[in-house]
Chains A and B, each alone.
Chain A
Amino acid sequence: KNEVEQSPQNLTAQEGEFITINCSYSVGISALHWLQQHPGGGIVSLFMLSSGKKKHGRLIATINIQEKHSSLHITASHPRDSAVYICAGGGADGLTFGKGTHLIIQP
């Protein structure tokens, strides 16, 4: 059974801070997704990683396949980054989701 563990569960930071959210996953997961969910509920896919590192704007995602660990970083955080960030693992099948990190960026 695939498992995905995420930390921290809650994170409050000041605007401008560098944010890191961590995700560990079990054997059998061949691709790791980072998703963003806003209060209305809609899901936005930020990254899908199977190796290395990806960057989009102020967001950076890394994955270490040997350690089965991934991180999502937000540089120069802004209040509009406040959301729930979810890592999810899978492959050809449906995804297994972490419990999410509730991020609040205070101005």
Chain B
Amino acid sequence: GAVVSQHPSWVICKSGTSVKIECRSLDFQATTMFWYRQFPKQSLMLMATSNEGSKATYEQGVEKDKFLINHASLTLSTLTVTSAHPEDSSFYICSARVPVLGYEQYFGPGTRLTVT
């Protein structure tokens, strides 16, 4: 089956620093990847849609200059949280979709970010 990995699985960083989270499709090429975040006891929320070779599309309320997304290859998308603040502490999950296979999305295991 389709496997999506994320790295790191958890990270603690100091306020003001930047953190990069990687999302990889291991056995398939993903033309589209999605980034979601989940605050404690809340639903997952879509942050942005990342298409290989083009700029990401951000959801309303998500700062594109703070959450930098790069989808440079068909198997890798990265999310960089710049100048992290404690309120950015959250669970970040990516998913990948192969359009020719339909609408099914394959989820990564998630990255728990804690900003101190």
Contact = CB atoms under 8 A, between A and B. Distances in A.
Chain B: interface size category: 20 to 34
A43 B104 contact: no
B113 to A, nearest CB: 11
A39 B77 CA distance: 25
Contact of B110 (A33, A42, A98): A42
Contacts of B110: 41-43
A97 B91 contact: no
Interface stretch (A15-23, A71-79, A87-95): A87-95
A92 B109 contact: no
Interface stretch (B12-20, B39-47, B66-74, B79-87): B39-47
Given A41-B91, A41-B112, A43-B110, A96 B103 contact: no
A88 B109 CA distance: 17
Contact of A33 (B36, B43, B99, B105): B105
A28 B45 CA distance: 17
Nearest to B6: A42
A31 B95 CA distance: 15
Given A41-B91, A42-B109, A93-B49, A98 B103 contact: no
A97 B44 contact: yes
B34 A94 contact: yes
A59 interface: no
Contacts of B91: 41
27 contacts: A31-B102, A31-B103, A31-B104, A35-B107, A41-B93, A41-B112, A42-B109, A43-B109, A44-B107, A45-B105, A45-B106, A48-B105, A86-B44, A90-B105, A92-B103, A93-B49, A94-B34, A94-B46, A94-B49, A95-B34, A95-B36, A95-B46, A96-B46, A97-B43, A97-B45, A99-B42, A100-B43
Interface of A: 30-31, 33, 35, 41-45, 48, 50, 86, 88, 90-100
**Closest 10 pairs between A and B when the two form their complex, measured CB to CB:** A94-B46, A31-B103, A43-B107, A42-B109, A94-B34, A97-B43, A48-B104, A97-B44, A41-B110, A99-B43
